Amino acid sequence: MNSNTLFTPIKVGDLKLPNRMIMAPLTRRRAAEGNMPTDLMAEYYRQRASAGLIISEATPISPQAIGYNNLPGIFTQAQLESWKKVTAAVHSNGGRIFMQLWHVGRISHSLFQQGHVLPIAPSAISAGEVITTPEGSKKMEIPRALETGEIAGIVEDYRKASANAKEAGFDGVEIHGANAYLIDQFLHQSSNHRTDEYGGSIENRARFALYIVKAVCDIWSSQRVGIRLSPSNTRNGMDDPDPAGLFGYLIGQLNSFNLAYLHLVEPMMPLDNYPHMIHEVARHFRPLWNGPLITAGNYNYEKGQAVIMEGIADMVAFGRLFIANPDLPERFARQLPLNIPDTDTFYYGGEKGYIDYPKRESVND
């Protein structure tokens, strides 16, 4: 046990965070036409600026990277300018915010793609589920496998999006390598059947992720770059026979970049049919990682305190609790009751369930 708690300041890269309560990246789908951030989004993030660090909702790096309705992008100058309102709002309220960079890969549909072409992926393997499109619910399509020569272009999209995020005033970026999206698809054997230098061995399947990290660190100091991974995710057809070996290798390679943090997601689905998967992700990989570690996965106050005090992680990401409680750190500190999240408004709507959750009025104890 150690003396750190959720309320202990921590240095992450070259930033000093006032607490260890991280606002998890949360897709809310409130962007305007043209994948434009809005004033409503600026207020939403401003309200939650007391988090040690805000990680923005996952943000597509290119038109090809889109797989859901009403997402804010970071691939046009107009989007960049609109994001400036968000970062300014967070900073004016004393907060810090990283942008999460996102490419969905095969978790998309031709209806989202320019020219209605097929989504891309490491291999032509469907995720096997349904997706909500502009024309309603559709079965996932078989994606088009990327040609080897196209991969550099995808990496360049990450580099450009990183530069745009910097110009938009973000304090750093998080690379979304989790939850069955493009980087994760390259990592897992179930979704990557390639025979070139990006497929086959663990080293080859990790190459795409490391290529992206290097490109992003060419734009940002590595001290302002994080990455999110989900070694035990099984949704959307994800599986690998050796997740410990795969992610152990990747994390070992990531150590050489001196990143701001590693963000690990605990299993979000039962693993009864996946006995080879890792049940306690942060506990397993903590000894392999040399820097600050964020853990995410349905934490409450008690579980968050315990994982920090035991030294399993350095910070805890809260999702639903930050949705419903914009002043979550104060509520935790003063042991105040929590608002209950309205799940019906997580991904749709305007102000309701977005910026109308009440803050607890401060009172003298």
102: phi then psi, degrees, rounded to nearest 5: -140, 135
pLDDT computed for residue 360 by the predictor? 78
From 129, 116, 132, 139, select the one nearest 180 (Cα to Cα). 129
Tokens at 321, concatenated? 């609790």
What number of other Cβ atoms are within 10 A of residue 269's Cβ?
A: 12
From 18, 16, 23, 14, select the one nearest 5 (Cα to Cα): 18
Residue ranges in the chain assigned as alpha helix (H): 39-47, 77-92, 151-167, 182-187, 202-219, 243-254, 281-285, 301-309, 320-324, 328-334
| Nearest alpha carbon to residue 257 among 295, 213, 288 | 213
Q: Which domains does the chain have, with CATH numbers?
A: 10-345 (3.20.20.70)
Helices (H), 55-201: 77-92, 151-167, 182-187
Task: Single out the catalytic residue among 181, 299, 301, 354.
Answer: 181
CA distances from 107 to 17, 161, 211, 238 (A): 34, 20, 21, 12
One digit per residue, the tens of pLDDT, for the chain of length 365 reads 789 999 999 999 999 999 999 999 999 999 999 999 999 999 999 999 999 999 999 999 999 999 999 999 999 999 999 999 999 999 999 999 999 999 999 999 999 999 999 999 999 999 998 999 999 999 999 999 999 999 999 999 999 999 999 999 999 999 999 999 999 999 999 999 999 999 999 999 999 999 999 999 999 999 999 999 999 999 999 999 999 999 999 999 999 999 999 999 999 889 999 999 999 999 999 999 999 999 999 999 999 999 999 999 999 999 999 999 999 999 999 999 999 999 999 998 899 999 999 987 644 44
**Is the Cβ–Cβ distance between 38 and 30 less than 8 Å?**
yes
Bridge partners (DSSP) listed for residue 132: 137
Q: Which residues pair with 225 in a beta bridge?
A: 173
The angle, 0 to 180 degrees and rounded to 10, between the axes of the packed helices 77-92 and 39-47 is: 30
For residue 359, the model assigns a pLDDT of 87
CB 22 within 8 A of CB 316: yes
H or E element at residue 67: none
Q: CA quadruple 317, 321, 324, 330: dihedral positive or negative?
A: negative
Query: Catalytic annotation on 347?
Result: no
What tokens appear for 59 in the block?
Answer: 């943000």
CA-nearest of 215, 220, 297, 285 to 251 is 285
Q: Are 20 and 6 in contact (CB under 8 A)?
A: yes
Q: Report the distance separating Cα 106 and Cα 83, nearest Å.
A: 26
Contact (CB, 8 A) for 148 and 154: no
CA atoms of 30 and 117, how far apart (whole Å): 25
Place of tokens 């997706």: 131
Q: Pick from 156, 141, 131, 154: which is nearest to 110 by CA?
A: 141
